[in-house]
Structure 1
Amino acid sequence: MKNIIRLSVCTLVIAGIVQSSCKKSSLDQPALGALSTAQITTAAGVDGLLIGAYSALDGQKGSNVAFGGGNPWESSPDNWIYGSVAGGDAHKGSSGIDQPAINSIATFTVDASNGFLNTKWIADYEGVTRANNVLKAVAAVASISAADKANIIGQARFLRGHYYFDLKKMFGNVPYIDETTTNFVQPNTADIWPKIVADFAFAYANLPATQTQVGRVNKWAAGAYLAKTYLYQKDYTNADKTFTEVITGGTNSAGVAYGLTDNYEDNFNASTKNNKETVFAIQQAANDGTGTISEANNGDMLNYPYNSPFGCCGFFQPTEDLANSFRTDATGLPYLDDYNSHAVVNDQGIASTAAFTLDAGNLDPRLDWTVGRRGIPYLDWGNHPGQNWIREQSSAGPYSPKKNVYYQATKGTLGDSHTWAPGNANQVNIIRFADVLLMAAEAKAQLGTGDLGLSYVNQVRARAAKPASMVYTYKDAANPMGGYTTTPAAKYVVNQYPAGYFTSKDLALKAIYFERKLELGMEGHRFFDIVRWGTAQQSLATYFGYDGKNITDVTGAHFTVGKNEVYPIPQAQIDLESTGSSSALKQNPGY
């Protein structure tokens, strides 16, 4: 399609596409930004193209600018806006008037003119273009062995599958472009799920179990993504089969068997990234020698407490609805039906200088690795002070994000301050092993097989109950980098479901769905989960009704069934594909 060609400004292009008819040697120069055919059609050239396909994963073309010219957060690969803010995990944050394009996404009043959606579209199609370039180039290189060629093609097809999966879950039907396409004006009337399945299935069958470099995808990452693709299509039989293969035999790219880390927080700490729980993650690096530019997870550069040591910017504030979900009963189990009736005490409307008493009830410790709340250690930055770190409680609530934040002790190495907002070297988890376990549990519950996924859910809950996964008080609150006591920061009580607890498919699914909310909170999954489960209207109505009473950004918000399950096709893309009065791209219903 036209926008892939026009807007793929950083894509390596094969020389010969543009040829000059001028014969004067002074003007006979190679095209800027292009590589010659000789450079491309070598093993090194193909690997360079493949690295380019990986580099598009963060949605940026460099210099803190997204592909197509938007801001980095508009195309953030963790989908914090489109998955978490839209899903009820988080309020937009900051103030009501800052980044207003997010407001309409959060309240489901978004339309096709919203520039954020166009930025996201362009970023994913940039990735598609780069993957296709690899596939075109590798076919012309005879010097690459069959095994290496299968590995290269498998990685490229995995990446293409990922970009298309992101587009599919965001926009529904989208145009499909592959390495054989010559007419880039393509309709979006066909379902592309079979194409995505084919890419991941090829990768699963052809990629090696280990790779020589961290960050390159392996066979088992492809298997997990293939199973996830089956799950999204409600093909539970193939999902269950493939998840079982990944769980029982899978390893990360270094050959380490998949498992859950003892400490939940290890998945969000750059010091412990690429661990045994990492299935597919986007690599990030801080202080990489680029001078005044930060390339360290700029998609989340807004998402640090306001008026804090981080300097910027107060976005992505966890919701009260999410925080309340971490309440546990006397047996250490969650309140699946009425969690908001057991609300976690917070400091909404209370000044930091005023007295505040922490919640004394039972809580799941994952709360305090997910939600920054007053009086609880905020990593090693000190106890969260409450309102002083919140720009506008009235429109965004009392909480701060936490999973994307670096430690004070490593701010000089794993944090990045080379630009106007913070950066973090931690990886962006697209799929981690806990996610795999919970998706596998869902498939088993849907099929009505085995224990309906109970054992998988209990593995996740057992990790949450470990002492290593708890947050502890400081030895000296005035010196938060001085270490921690053995005293938990709150009353953490979390247990596994008893044997035989999942007595029906409906109960099993209710518990599995809730566990995903707890385990994967603030990780960009929530909206896409509730849409595919068919619970979006109910879940969001609960959230809007509860948070909307006190927090103005979602007051009166409403999800419309049959419309808001997908985002509108960006009008800019429809216009690009227009020929006179018609366009090859059809708008989604209701927009």
Structure 2
Amino acid sequence: MKIIIKYPRAVAALLVAFLLSGCESFVALEVPNDRITSTTVYGDDATARAALDGMYIQLFNTAFAAGGNASVSFLGGLSAGTYSLTSAVPDMEAFAGYQLEASNGLNLNLWSGAYNMIYMCNALIEGVAENNALSADTREALEGQARFIRAFTYFELTNLYGDVPLITQTNYTVNALQPRSLQTDIYNLILEDLTRAVALLDNDYPDNERTRANRFTALGLLARVQLYLENWELAEAYSSEVLEADELYELPEDLNSVFLANSREALWQVSPEGWGNSFIHTRDGNLLLRITPTGSPVELSADLLQSWESGDQRREDWVGSFITAAQTYYYPNKYKIQYDASGGDYTEYSMVMRLAEQYLIRAEARTRQGKLELAVADLNVIRERAGLETLEFNTSLSQESLIEAVLEERSHELFGEWGHRWLDLKRTGRAQDVLEGIEETDLLYPIPEDEILKNPNLTQNAGY
């Protein structure tokens, strides 16, 4: 078969499909002889960059990142009480009611999708290493991108599951029997990958499309990682470097423009190009927007709806309503397109990382260090954009009350995005105080039963 690279991004998806042999598991199967080999894929700059395109396209299709019903955003939202179910779907009810079992299909899809991406990253890192067929610029760009995505994926995995297998190669015989590694070792790899990515990635976005990581994207994730590790000074320093890049980033005044394609607020987005056809809507919008009585399996919870301050513009612009004779459903309205098969231009991208989070990271890191006046200034940037009164700094303001204010702003700013609320409640030790019916063993998702059956070295989390 002769492949002519006329549409490189479409070809990239094909290349990646060949590379992965259709495997949606961290146990990589042996590549059949009729599949494209890594030698072919990484034989020159054009095909190597096409493989990178395919990896990013796959992010839209792999369960954990896609924004669909097995994504971190959706399942984390169920666990955090962001959503209330309006449909009886047992696998979803298990997340919402803290009755998860290791056999849950959505949990398996989330896990497998994440390890699928890790395998792809490992394949790319191996493919470009000391590859003299590629230019130095291509080798560095591809390694930096792959290391960033691997770090991002492991960050999500270890915060959802705790200790997880640390897979850094494509040798399927080794991967198939890999035991769980300590979370400290996972974080060490994350920090190593991100430090390397910062050194390799450019400041600019290729083709002015924010669907690839740049140096500031990696710095932004470093800021988040250091916040979770309670390294407050480093979290402040990394977020400051991102916030100072005002030639690239700003907070749009119009909240309805935040989630548009290539928004000035975006550090990183995922394009609906991964649909591979005429669809131009995001999976987030397709799942969450309610344009019919049964158009979505969830609505926003009453607790979230009642928590907004009066006059919060986010409540006006980012919450929609669907009214029936029986009731009014409220749904996330950050994305405005539920379905569009026109084949036209992409007007919305799925948001993964954005500038507002960096203000909130720095506000929390500064508060934890006792820099309360500076923290209030950061928090007020977010509040002003939301149309709220600014907080007034005075000597009676306590560190504890300001932390509460930061976490409250995080819940209103980042709701429905990448499980932030769920992870925030867990890392701050507040989950059992805030969420009804949750036990300590519910704070980690179960290792999927299918994976434990395939790998005798895998152990299960407590309580499952």
Alignment-mate amino acid for residue 324 of structure 1? Q
Aligned partner of residue 280 in structure 1, secondary structure:
strand
Matched, 1:560 2:439: yes
The answer (yes or no) to whether the contact 2:25–2:112 under 8 Å persists in 1 is no
CA–CA distance in 2 between the matches of 1:168 and 1:56?
21
Query: In the alignment, does 2:292 pair up with 1:304?
Result: no
Does the Cα contact within 8 Å between 1:297 and 1:425 map onto a contact in 2?
A: no
- Choose from 70, 73, 77 the match for 1:75: 70
Q: Which string of whole-angstrom CA distances, capped at 9 and with x for unpartnered residues, describes residues 21-65 of structure 1?
A: xxxxxxxxxx0x4246244322122212212221221244xxxxx
1:175-227 residue CA offsets vs partner (Å, 9 max, x unmatched): 01113756112111322111111111111122110132311110000000011
Read off the aligned partner of 1:104 and give its amino acid letter. Answer: A
Residue number in structure 2 paired with 1:459: 381
- Note closer, same or farther for the CA distance 1:157–1:275 as it changes in structure 2 (3 Å cut): same
**Contact 2:308–2:412 (Cα < 8 Å) also in 1:** yes
Task: Give the unaligned 5+ runs of structure 2.
Answer: 1-18
2:126 paired with 1:136: yes
Q: Aligned residue for 1:498?
A: 392
Q: Tell me which of 340, 345, 362 is aligned to 1:416.
A: 340
Aligned-partner SS, 1:317: strand
Is the Cα–Cα contact under 8 Å of residues 104 and 448 in structure 2 kept in the other structure? yes
Note the alpha carbon deviations across 1:533-589, whole angstroms, 9 max, x for none. 111111213xxxxxxxxxxxxxxxx1112x122111111111111xxxxx2111111
Instruction: Give secondary structure in 2 for the equivalent of 1:132.
Output: helix
**Residue type of the alignment partner of 1:363:** G
User: 3-state DSSP class of the match of 2:164?
Assistant: coil
Q: Which amino acid aligns with 1:89?
A: T
**Pairwise mapping of residues 119-268 of structure 1 onto structure 2 (< 5 A)?**
119-179=109-169, 183-184=174-175, 185-191=177-183, 192-213=186-207, 214=209, 215-248=211-244, 250=245, 256-268=247-259
Quick check: 1:370–1:521 contact (8 Å CA) kept in 2? no
Match of 2:316 in 1: 368
Q: Does 1:326 align with 2:257?
A: no
Are the aligned partners of 1:568 and 1:588 in contact in 2 as well (CA < 8 Å)?
yes
Q: Which amino acid aligns with 1:416?
A: D
Tell me the C-alpha RMSD between the 2 structures.
Answer: 3.0
Bigger Rg over Cα? 1
Q: Give the conservation status (yes or no) of the 8 Å contact 1:131–1:157.
A: yes
Aligned residue in 1 for 2:8: none
1:342 is matched with none
* Maintained 8 Å contact 2:57/2:271: no
Distance change (3 Å), C-alpha of 1:289 and 1:158: closer
2:272 paired with 1:290: no
SS at match of 1:73: coil
**Residues 39 and 87 of structure 1: CA distance in aligned 2, closer, same or farther (over 3 Å):** closer
**Residue 312 of structure 2 aligns to a residue in which SS?**
coil
**CA-CA distance at 1:299 after TM superposition:** 5.2
Q: Does 1:8 align with 2:8?
A: no
Label 1:440 to 1:72 Cα distance change in 2 as closer, same or farther (>3 A): closer
Look up the match of 1:548: none
The offset of 1:283, in angstroms, is 1.8
User: Which residue does 1:381 correspond to in 2?
Assistant: none
* Cα separation, partners in 2 of 1:74 and 1:570, compared to 1, 3 Å: farther
2:287 match: secondary structure: coil
1-side partners of 2:31 and 2:411: how far apart? Answer: 49
CA 243–538 in structure 1, closer or farther in 2 if over 3 Å, else same: same
CA contact (8 A) 1:89 1:319 kept: yes
Asked if 2 retains the 8 angstrom alpha-carbon contact of 1:154 and 1:206, the reply is: yes
Q: Which of 319, 324, 332 is matched with 1:387 structurally? A: 324
Structure 2 Cα separation of the partners of residues 38 and 289 of structure 1: 23
Tell whether the 8 Å contact from 1:50 to 1:130 is kept in structure 2 after alignment: no
- Do the aligned residues in 2 keep the contact of 1:318 with 1:522 (CA within 8 Å)? no
Q: Are residues 147 and 17 of structure 1, via their aligned partners in 2, closer, same or farther at CA, if it must alter by over 3 Å?
A: same
In structure 2, relative to structure 1, the CA distance for the partners of 1:282 and 1:141 (3 Å cut) is same
Q: Residues of 1 paired with 2:152 and 2:189: CA distance?
A: 11
Which residue number corresponds to residue 585 of structure 1? 458
- Give the Cα–Cα distance (whole angstroms) in 2 for the partners of residues 517 and 183 of structure 1: 41
Match of 2:405 among 511, 518, 532: 511
How much does 1:17 deviate? Answer: 4.8
CA–CA distance in 2 between the matches of 1:225 and 1:205? 14
**One of 332, 338, 353 as aligned partner of 1:401:** 332
State the partner residue of 2:448.
Answer: 570
Q: Which amino acid aligns with 2:255?
A: Y
The answer on whether the counterparts of 1:305 and 1:313 sit within 8 Å (CA) in structure 2 is yes
2:451 pairs with 1:529 = no
Q: Is 1:432 equivalent to 2:354 in the alignment?
A: yes
SS in 2 for 1:573: helix
Offset at residue 120 of structure 1 (A): 0.6
| Residue range with higher mean Cα deviation, 101-110 or 230-239 | 230-239
In the TM superposition, residue 522 of structure 1 has moved relative to its aligned partner by 2.4
Deviation at 1:121, TM superposition (A): 0.8
Report the AA paired with residue 224 of structure 1. G
Work out the CA distance in 1 between the residues paired with 2:205 and 2:67: 29
Which residue in the other structure is 2:365 paired with? 443
Q: How many residues are matched?
A: 436
Per the alignment, do residues 80 and 450 of structure 1 end up closer, same or farther by CA in structure 2, a change over 3 Å counting? Answer: closer
In terms of mean alpha carbon deviation, does 175-184 or 205-214 score higher? 175-184
Give the drift of 1:7.
5.9
Distance in 2, Cα, partners of 1:126 & 1:434: 29
Structure 2 counterpart SS, 1:156: helix
The one-letter code matched in structure 2 to 1:167 is: L
Question: Does the 8 Å contact 1:92/1:103 carry over to 2?
Answer: yes
Q: Residues of 2 paired with 1:143 and 1:502: CA distance?
A: 64
Tell me which moved more, 441-450 or 222-231: 441-450
**Is residue 43–residue 141 contact of structure 1 (8 Å, CA) maintained in 2?**
no
1:551 corresponds in structure 2 to none
2:217 and 2:102 map into 1 onto residues whose CA distance is 34
* Residue identity opposite 2:297 in structure 1: F
Contiguous gaps of at least 5 residues in structure 1: 20-30, 61-65, 328-361, 374-383, 466-493, 542-557, 578-582
Q: What is the CA–CA distance in structure 1 between the aligned matches of 2:277 and 2:20, rounded to whole Å?
A: 28
Q: Tell me what 2:93 maps to.
A: 103
Residues 250 and 265, structure 2, Cα contact 8 Å, conserved in 1? yes
8 A Cα contact 2:165 2:178, kept in partner: yes
Greater helix share, structure number: 2
Identity %: 27
* 2:181 match: secondary structure: coil
Residue 40 of structure 1 corresponds to 42
